Amino acid sequence: MTFPSNGDVSRSEDEAHDRLTRLTKLATEAIEGSPEYGDEKMILFLLNDGGEAGIAVVGFDSDAEALYYAIAGVRAMFRAAGKDFGMMPMPGAG
């Protein structure tokens, strides 16, 4: 497994800046347009083509909150596979 290169890691709001972020924006717009979607919903949409990655984040109060829910989702995936996932602080990492 290789990690995506993350190409241009600059942050943009409301403007997709490459193919994958344009696709994630289309996906979130489709979800937001659904009658099943409510104002209280948050969307964290990840798209990877094996070389690059795109992300769309909608409805979170902050990037930190979105990251928290992303990590909680990864942990749930590990637990569903009978494993666990945890994080530990790294000395000197800010």
Sequence ranges of the domains in the chain: 19-80
Between 89 and 69, name the one with better pLDDT: 69
- Whether residue 58 contacts residue 70, with contact meaning beta carbons closer than 8 Å, is answered with no
pLDDT in tens, 44-80: 888 888 888 888 888 899 888 998 999 999 999 999 9
Give residue 65's region: left, alpha or beta (phi > 0; psi -120 to 50).
Answer: alpha
- Whether residue 44 contacts residue 51, with contact meaning beta carbons closer than 8 Å, is answered with no
- Whether residue 59 contacts residue 41, with contact meaning beta carbons closer than 8 Å, is answered with yes
pLDDT the model gives residue 7: 57
User: In sequence order, which ranges of 3-62 are alpha helices (DSSP H)?
Assistant: 19-32
- Whether residue 68 contacts residue 42, with contact meaning beta carbons closer than 8 Å, is answered with no
Q: Which of 47, 87, 85, 44 is nearest to 67 (CA)?
A: 44
pLDDT in tens, 5-45: 555 556 667 777 788 888 988 998 899 899 998 877 888 88
